[in-house]
Amino acid sequence: MNGDDATMMRLMRAAQNGDKQAYAVLLEQAAKWLRRYFRRRIALEKLDDLVQEVLLSVHAKRSTYDPDRPFYPWLAAIARYRWVDYLRAEYRTQTQELLEDTASEESAEEPVMARISLDRLFDQLSPAQAEAIELVKIEGYSVAEASERSGQSQSLIKVNVHRGIRKLAAIIEKAS
Amino acid sequence: MDDPTQALIDRISADAAPVRPFRMGRGLALAGLAFVVTIIATLFLLGARHGLMSGEFSVYFVVVNGLLLVLGLSCVTTVVAMASPHVGTGHEGPKWAIAMAGVLPAAGVLAASAPDGVGLLHVEGIHCMYMGLAASVLIAAALFVWLRRGAPVSPKLAGLYLGIGSGALGSVANGMACADDSIAHLGIWHMAPVVIGALVGRYVISRWLRW
């Protein structure tokens, strides 16, 4: 199964028309893509929960996909929205294990995928904000531990996490 | 694929009822209908201003309502688009329209506070502000319904544009009945619904746009 954008557009159109089989294939491809999409930006034990939440959002909001437009930028907007929600949530993971940068599927669409990636969104933050969010919200360190590791004061860590997430929420649809 | 994710896919794909895809045209038609109904209701309830039917307009009337109309259309078009998320969409249009229309309150305050001006507060102005706000309600409701059914991923910005757009178009509708053409009146009291709409949209309505 080739999950390129043209195929996904076709499957999504069929899904909007009530084709259950096409919808199942689309969701399976979307789930695989989402696992790659969130790599290194979410703790491993949270990954499946986040993927499932995005799939539920896709299902609830599938009518908002415009069949004339590319599929992945629509899916990426929903994925980013849910991811920022996850970062906002007050959770602390015990493990610091992140998904390794598993081989991404090289394809002619790679430049498009790069434009909608989470890394590109993260690049919009200041280095201090990105570091604070990575340490506290993704790797699960306490504010005190993050302060020790980064050299930022505890209050600065809190401010950078707060401002960084607020900025991420404001630029969800930004491509680069 | 892990079992819970596959089980979820099996469950929701079995629930794949046909849906009607969002189209910009339908959202714009909904907002346009609300605007037209608002104008008709305003003319019916308040009556048309002198010279409206015969095409006699003052320069200030044309400039202020023209700018408000552009501001309103820009915001409404963006709000309709925001219901269908898409990475790579800037939503930059309204920013320029807001900057452009921002000149009006400054001109209004300058004119009202001049030695021969009418002053910043007067009863007719407050009445006009209320009418403009009342005229924005139906347009705001149409946009709110559209966004609630959609998937706005920037609820704060969507709420802000919803408030500004409906306030601006409500003010235009009210302008069809208002007889005062002074820049002091138009720049302050016909812009007030836009400012109030922006605040309500950004800080109140946006809370109900999260999903």
Listed in sequence order, the residues at least 6 apart from A61 whose beta carbon sits closer than 8 Å to its beta carbon are: A78, B150, B151, B211
- pLDDT at residue B1 greater than cutoff 90: no
A143 assigned to some structural domain: yes
B171-208 residue pLDDT tens = 999 999 998 888 999 999 999 999 999 999 999 999 99
Question: In the predicted model, what is the mean pLDDT of residues A35-45?
Answer: 85
What's A36's domain CATH number? 1.10.1740.10
* Same domain for A132 and A66: no
Range(s) of the domain holding residue A134: 124-176
- A14: its two tokens: 């069929």
B136 band by pLDDT with thresholds 50, 70 and 90: very high
- Token pair 């995005």 is found at A54
A157 assigned to some structural domain: yes
- pLDDT at residue A57 greater than cutoff 90: yes
B43 assigned to some structural domain: no
A40 band by pLDDT with thresholds 50, 70 and 90: confident
Q: Are B2 and A47 in contact (CB under 8 A)?
A: no
Last residue of a domain, one of A70, A92, A114: A92
- Token pair 């259950």 is found at A20
Question: How far does CA A77 lie from the centroid of its chain?
Answer: 9
pLDDT over 90 percentage in chain A = 56
CB pairs under 8 A between A and B: 123
Which one-letter amino acid corresponds to residue B63? Answer: V
Residue B50 to residue B2: CA distance in whole angstroms? 71
Q: Measured between beta carbons, which residues in chain B are less than 8 angstroms from residue A71?
A: none
CB contact under 8 A, A64 and B87: no
Q: Measured between beta carbons, which residues in chain A are less than 8 angstroms from residue B9?
A: 24, 27-28, 31, 55
Helix (H) or strand (E) holding B65: helix B59-82
- pLDDT at residue B4 greater than cutoff 70: yes
Lowest mean pLDDT: which of A15-24, B46-55, B87-96?
Answer: B46-55
B52 band by pLDDT with thresholds 50, 70 and 90: confident
Question: How far does CA A135 lie from the centroid of its chain?
Answer: 17
B95 assigned to some structural domain: yes
Domain count of chain B? 1
pLDDT at B163: 98
CA distance A156 to chain B (A): 25
Question: In the predicted model, what is the mean pLDDT of residues A133-157?
Answer: 90
Nearest of A176, A9, A171, A166 to residue A80 by alpha carbon: A171
B89 assigned to some structural domain: yes
CB contact under 8 A, A115 and B87: yes
CB contact under 8 A, B16 and A15: yes
**Residue A66 φ then ψ, to 5°:** -85, 115
Which chain B residue has its CA at the smallest distance from A68's CA?
Answer: B23
Residue A11 to residue A26: CA distance in whole angstroms? 6
* Same domain for A61 and A17: yes
Half-sphere exposure of B176 (CA within 13 A, CB side): 21
What's A172's domain CATH number? 1.10.10.10
A142 assigned to some structural domain: yes
By Cβ distance, the residue of B17, B153, B211 closest to A173 is B153
**Residue B119 φ then ψ, to 5°:** 90, 165
Q: Hey, of A16, A63, A80, which one would you mutate to test binding to chain B, going by the most B CBs within 10 A of its CB? A: A63
pLDDT at A94: 43
Question: In the predicted model, what is the mean pLDDT of residues A19-43?
Answer: 91
Half-sphere exposure of A169 (CA within 13 A, CB side): 18
CB contact under 8 A, B86 and A78: no
* Same domain for A58 and A7: yes
Q: Measured between beta carbons, which residues in chain B are less than 8 angstroms from residue A46?
A: none
* Same domain for A146 and A83: no
Question: How far does CA B62 lie from the centroid of its chain?
Answer: 19
B86 assigned to some structural domain: yes
Q: Are B74 and B195 in contact (CB under 8 A)?
A: no
- pLDDT at residue B38 greater than cutoff 60: yes
B55-76 residue pLDDT tens = 777 888 899 999 999 999 999 9
* Same domain for A81 and A29: yes
- pLDDT at residue A159 greater than cutoff 90: yes
By Cβ distance, the residue of B2, B85, B90 closest to A64 is B85
Report the sign of the C-alpha dihedral through residues A8, A14, A18, A19, in that order. negative
Lowest mean pLDDT: which of A46-55, A109-118, B13-22, B136-145?
Answer: A109-118
ipTM: 0.85
Helix (H, G, I), strand (E, B), or coil: what is residue A136? helix
pLDDT over 90 percentage in chain B = 72
Residue A71 to residue A79: CA distance in whole angstroms? 12
Residue A161 to residue A141: CA distance in whole angstroms? 12
B99 assigned to some structural domain: yes
* Same domain for A171 and A129: yes
CB contact under 8 A, B12 and A56: yes
Report the sign of the C-alpha dihedral through residues A77, A79, A80, A82, in that order. positive
Q: Are A173 and B88 in contact (CB under 8 A)?
A: yes
A117 assigned to some structural domain: no
Cβ neighbour number for residue B95 with a 10 Å cutoff: 13
A66-125 residue pLDDT tens = 999 999 999 999 999 999 998 887 544 444 444 444 444 445 556 666 677 888 888 889
B83 assigned to some structural domain: yes
- B90: its two tokens: 């800037």
CB contact under 8 A, A173 and B87: yes
Range(s) of the domain holding residue B83: 67-211
Last residue of a domain, one of A73, A92, A111: A92
pLDDT at A98: 46
Domain count of chain A? 2
Q: Hey, of B23, B26, B78, B86, which one would you mutate to test binding to chain A, going by the most A CBs within 10 A of its CB? A: B86
Half-sphere exposure of A75 (CA within 13 A, CB side): 26
**Residue A141 φ then ψ, to 5°:** -75, 155
B146-175 residue pLDDT tens = 999 999 999 999 999 999 999 999 999 999
B81-114 residue pLDDT tens = 999 999 988 788 899 999 999 999 999 888 888 8
Question: In the predicted model, what is the mean pLDDT of residues A149-173?
Answer: 91
Lowest mean pLDDT: which of A1-5, B102-106, B129-133?
Answer: A1-5
B174 assigned to some structural domain: yes
Q: Are B15 and A59 in contact (CB under 8 A)?
A: yes
* Same domain for A52 and A10: yes
B4 assigned to some structural domain: no
A18 assigned to some structural domain: yes
Exposure pattern of A33-54 as b/e (b: 16+ CB <10 Å)?
Answer: bbbebbbebbbeebbbebbbbb
Helix (H, G, I), strand (E, B), or coil: what is residue B39? helix
pLDDT at A95: 44
CB contact under 8 A, A32 and B1: yes
* Same domain for A63 and A137: no
Residue A151 to residue A3: CA distance in whole angstroms? 43
Mean pLDDT over the full length of chain B: 91
